[in-house]
Structure 1
Amino acid sequence: MKAKLLTTISFFTYQLSISQTEKVLNGKVLSQNVPLDKVEVINKTGKTSSRTNEFGEFSILAKEQDSLLFFSKNYLFTRLKLTLKDLEKNYLIVEMNPKAEELENVIVSKSVFTKTEIKKIVNNKDEINKIIIRKKFDEVTSKVTVYDGRIKNGLDFSYPIFDKPKKKIEPRDDRFRKLVIASCSPDFFIKNLKIKPEEKELFLKFCDADPKSKILLEHPNVLAVMDFLYDKNDEFKKPK
């Protein structure tokens, strides 16, 4: 009887330790049995993020009841709340569904304004607003410099002995983040959206994954950007 009691206590102690302890969780993201590369994996609860490799594999710190978010621009957003069974398996298989095919945006070529058209723009608050936002966006973009990884007076690795296949690193597109910064005041996320400071970057990644964010880049507008952030905020905070 004592042996059974000790075994039961040990089992529940083990389960409790798993559920309360953060551990590295491994998994794979698929769509119709095809591995998905560069899928953003965000632990909303633990405030950490990761990304799948070319084989669809990922690793992320997590514990029981953590909420994991999976999103990619060509697939439907997926949310998963971790259970004790998920942690015990230590290997998640996540299935994502492709989005419906969308028509490409129609781009209107620029033309020279007549005097009448200029007067209309001057008297149109929406048009003036677009020009101001575009100017702010261009100013933020022009100030950003990218470090190319070169070391001054470093060794020359161009000799044959050092020749190795170079893996192409694609820089992340942060134009949407810059547009939001140019459009919204610093306290907008805290006062209006009720987003905690530590969740701001995760929320921006979540919004940027939506194809609608690219439409805003083509037609920047303060009200449109804020409406989009309000809509995504409701989805971001929605429980499973």
Structure 2
Amino acid sequence: MKNKIGILALLLLSQVCFSQLLTRKLIHGQVVNDSINVENVVVFNANSKTGTVTSSQGFFSINVRENDTLVFSGLQFKSKKYVYSDIKGIDLKIKLEIFTHQLSEVVVSNKNNIKPIQGSQSIVDKKYFDDEKSSSKNRTMMQVGGVENPMDFVRMYKDVFKILKKKYPKKTDFTTQTDFTEIVMKKIGYSFFTNKLKLNDDAIKLFLVYCENESKARMFSKSTTEFELMDFLIVKNMEFKKITAINK
């Protein structure tokens, strides 16, 4: 009898532990940044396919369990992935980095006439006339040493090459350089988002950020048809609407 009670207790305990592993719990957190306020950041649980949007102060609540991957995306911030662990507790603080666009060098000058760099083609092509008093020439005698102003065939070749280069520019590989948002905005009209997907201006921006986190979005290129893009956007819009509805 004691053995049966022990086995029953063991089975009950294992079932409770197993249910705790499968059941997600509600946690709270805040997304922060050192420079600006964090708001309207999409928090997406990649495992359960659910999510939410942060408040104006960056606070959010979402259901997770051990080893769930949370993806944080915002218009002004770099996307960040976070793997949840029970050790961290139910209160999280996630720090996002701002997109920074740095220039390699900026030169500011208040002068319009900038001196050319030594050895440039503009100096080579510049013609200097003789000073009649210091280097006079006897025009009555036959000139020795070839033509005085010969034709520069090398310079002519360079000029022709520049013209041909402008006429036939180097082709750009749009597959690797064009991002998803740029492709969508060029191929899909604004009315598709407002009329078909029923999204307002602010929601359109968040929706595109949400779509960019999908691995399939990186496969679209300049040659992608409008129908392929529309089909993808319609499917992602249904997921996006579920996420935003949870936050309301």
| Superposition TM-score, scaled by structure 1 size | 0.43
Bigger Rg, structure 1 or 2: 2
| Superposition TM-score, scaled by structure 2 size | 0.42
